[in-house]
Amino acid sequence: MPRRLALLLCLACLAPAPPADAAPAPVHTPAQAQADAADPPGPDPAVVAALRDADRAVQERLAARLAVIPGLEKARVEVSGGVATLRGLAADDARRQLAATIAGQTQDVVLVENRLELDTDVRTRSAPVFAAAAERLRNLVAALPLLLVAAAIVLAAWWLGRWLSLRPGLQRRMRRNPFLVDLARQAIRIGALLAGLVLALDLLDAGALVGALLGTAGVVGIAVGFAFRDVAENYIAGILLSLRQPFAPHDHVVIDGHEGKVAALTSRATILVTLDGNHLRLPNALVFKGVMLNYSRNPRRQFAFEAGIANDASVSRAQRVAREALARIDGILDDPAPAVLVAALGESTTNLRISAWIDQGDTSFAAARSEAIRLVKRAFQEHGIDMPDPGYRIELRQAAPEPEATGATPPARPAPPAPHAEPEAEASADLRAEHHIDRQIDRDHAATAGNLLDPDAPRE
């Protein structure tokens, strides 16, 4: 221990002494150390100067870019720390957004603050409009030769389509169907005009417009087709009926329960004249899809009616009498011969079905049937063939008294009165065919335009 103390004293004596003018070392207290930590050192002035130079360069570059854009001449730019602030006036909102986009794409700009306002000065706002109109006018004048050539192409295409549609060869091939002739002519004209429009648009370098127009036309066509489906259906049915010709003018038809004579076929409806002289229009779609009965296709037509005789009467005798009565009618055909058949056997009558054939061109169907019924009824009355009512008849008879022993016979019952027959000299009915409906149809046909029926065309 004494040795260590001696060694320490020797080292202390050998250490150099501080200079006389040296300041004493500062003593740092804990409060002073905390204050030194709260005040960090400031930015380097060299770095700050470099950033200001960079902002000034960006500001000058951005201002130069905006100054050359029309409508942004009154715009001002301020750049500080990479943040670009746009001030001043812009011609419209599009220019305002364009300035912000250009500023955002400028190098070393990290944020854009757009404070541009719209310029409401009349001269400033109207100047671009007048300039654009003048530019369009100059372009129009420059393209005027091309426009004239395009217009000439369209006119030439229209003239060519009209010339082709009026060629007599088209009418000769479709002379039996004027509706198809008109349809083909319209198709040729429209096709030629569309071809001319396509060529004109290609000449004007507007080929993309053709596709847009065709697409729009397709969409509009679909919409119109759904909206006017019934009209289109009747139109197409009219075309098919004009091609097939299932009936001719003056034909007596029954279509879907509607009876009459055919007057005309138009692009939308079939016109009938009913047997009482009224006009009836049926949609072509109904005619095309409906059930049709044509009485005029076969000139011969059969009429029939029933007559009831008493059950105790001779059926064969009644049949012979009926055939003889029909044979006396001039309008009845011999081939096929009239027929009298037993139709039904009832409780009080035997029903006979009497039928005969006529030629509709010479004999009226209704008049012949009426005359046949009249003559058969008279013949049955003349030959004593009873035609009782189809019902029950109750007779109450009193028993006859017993004959007396004297041998006298009871009085005889009175005979029934003889049937009253019509005089033979009575004039026969007029059985000629009626043509007053046909004459009315002829008068209407003269005033009806667009009749698609051809009497000479082959029918289905």
Walk me through the domains of the chain, giving residue ranges and CATH numbers: 47-120 (3.30.1340.30), 144-227 (1.10.287), 246-296+440-447 (2.30.30.60), 300-382 (3.30.70.100)
Number of helices followed by number of strands (H, E) in the chain: 14, 12
Dig out the tokens for 227 from the structure. Answer: 């909206």
> Coil, helix or strand for 432?
strand
pLDDT, position 2: 47
Q: How confident is the model at residue 423 (pLDDT cuts 50, 70, 90)?
A: low
pLDDT, position 40: 58
Higher-confidence position of 29 and 155: 155
Residue 94, pLDDT above cutoff 80 = yes
- Residue 6 backbone dihedrals phi, psi, to 5 degrees: -65, -40
Nearest Cα neighbor of 293 from 253, 265, 252, 345 is: 253
Q: How confident is the model at residue 4 (pLDDT cuts 50, 70, 90)?
A: very low
Q: What's the mean pLDDT in 444-449? A: 62
Residue type, 332: I
Point out the least confidently predicted range of 179-183, 228-232, 256-260, 408-412: 408-412
* Strand pairing report for 279-283 and 269-273: antiparallel
pLDDT, position 38: 52
Question: From start to end of 212-255, where are the E strands?
Answer: 252-255
pLDDT, position 178: 66
Nearest Cα neighbor of 102 from 128, 70, 53, 69 is: 69
> Coil, helix or strand for 87?
strand
Contact 372, 331 (CB under 8 A): no
Contact 91, 119 (CB under 8 A): yes
Residue 300, pLDDT above cutoff 70 = yes
- Residue 83 backbone dihedrals phi, psi, to 5 degrees: -100, 120
Task: Residue 356: count other Cβ atoms within 10 Å of its Cβ.
Answer: 25
Nearest-angstrom CA–CA distance, 336 and 358: 9
Nearest Cα neighbor of 250 from 433, 436, 441, 434 is: 441
Alpha helices in 333-448 (DSSP H): 365-382, 436-447
SS3 content of the chain, % helix, strand, coil (to 5): 45, 15, 35
Residue type, 442: D
Nearest-angstrom CA–CA distance, 315 and 321: 10
Compute the C-alpha angle 456/459/460, nearest 5°: 175
Question: From start to end of 17-156, where are the E strands?
Answer: 75-80, 83-90, 111-114, 117-118
Average pLDDT, the chain: 79
Question: From start to end of 100-248, where are the E strands?
Answer: 111-114, 117-118
Nearest-angstrom CA–CA distance, 274 and 255: 12
Q: What is the pLDDT of residues 230-262, one digit of tens each?
A: 888 888 888 888 888 888 888 999 998 899 999
Nearest-angstrom CA–CA distance, 310 and 390: 9
Task: Residue 218: count other Cβ atoms within 10 Å of its Cβ.
Answer: 10
pLDDT, position 39: 54
